[in-house]
Amino acid sequence: MSEDKSSAWRRRERSRDLTGLGWLEADVLRVVWDKGEVTVRDVYEHLRENRRIAYTTVMSVLRNLAVKGLLAQDKAAAAYVYRPLVSDEEVARGILDAVVGKIMGGRREPLIEYLQRPLP
* Tens digits of residue pLDDT in 61-72: 999 999 999 999
Amino acid 64 reads N
Q: What is the mean pLDDT of residues 86-108?
A: 91
pLDDT above 90 (res 6): no
pTM reported for the whole predicted model: 0.79
How far is CA 23 from each of CA 1, 26, 28, 29, 61, rounded to the nearest angstrom?
29, 5, 9, 10, 11
**Domains, in order of start, for the chain:** 16-86 (1.10.10.10), 87-120 (no CATH)
User: Residue 2's pLDDT is what?
Assistant: 40
Q: Is the pLDDT of residue 35 over 70?
A: yes
